Chains A and B, each alone.
Chain A
Amino acid sequence: AQTVTQSQPEMSVQEAETVTLSCTYDTSESDYYLFWYKQPPSRQMILVIRQEAYKQQNATENRFSVNFQKAAKSFSLKISDSQLGDAAMYFCAYRARYNNNDMRFGAGTRLTVKP
């Protein structure tokens, strides 16, 4: 069964600094997607970044980038130049490309940004 683990329940970062959120996953599939979602107090899950497992290049979206290590089944999110608006719950998610197409989520990491 596919599982997603986020070992950091809470993280804190100073405004303008860089923070890395960790995520590991377990799967026997070879083709899948990995995602980071942000859930602010408004509750809506917002897609931050997406990585396709067959792509070796790490995905980047402005201040957000990932470190995808397929062999280690690790998928960390780096937020650069942190802003107050980055404060939220961050969820790592996995979705197989073809089979069992439900999305599996980690428990989440609550990120606090200090001014």
Chain B
Amino acid sequence: KAGVTQTPRYLIKTRGQQVTLSCSPISGHRSVSWYQQTPGQGLQFLFEYFSETQRNKGNFPGRFSGRQFSNSRSEMNVSTLELGDSALYLCASSPGTRNTEAFFGQGTRLTVV
């Protein structure tokens, strides 16, 4: 089985721009979660999608949004980028309705200049 695939791997954006990151979960997995990882704050939960519905949301401003498609692929969008949005964004997929382990992608390294 292919693992979780995140694209792109690296991204450089300018303040004020917007960005869209993509995540393809493991085949058959219906839950996709997004995390932000920074040296200062560590790993922080952004949101989780299950069957195209946002099931849970972390404490991030409305500039951070996401969606999930019928094939379980997910995208997250950050609008009006700020320097502090520079981070590694990790996507994780889980098998189903019960909360179990998450399988992570390699992440997208976003740099905002």
Number of A interface residues at 8 Å Cβ cutoff, please give it.
24
A33 to B101, CA, bound (A): 8
B-side interface size class: 20 to 34
Do B103 and A101 touch across chains, with their CB atoms under 8 A apart?
no
Q: Can you list 27 A-B contacts (CB < 8 A)?
A: A33-B100, A43-B107, A43-B109, A44-B104, A44-B107, A45-B92, A45-B104, A46-B104, A50-B100, A95-B99, A95-B100, A95-B102, A96-B99, A97-B98, A98-B99, A101-B48, A101-B55, A101-B56, A102-B45, A102-B48, A102-B58, A103-B33, A103-B45, A103-B92, A105-B35, A106-B42, A108-B42
Listed in ascending order, the chain B residues whose CB lies under 8 Å from chain A are: 33, 35, 42-43, 45, 48, 55-56, 58, 88, 90, 92, 98-107, 109
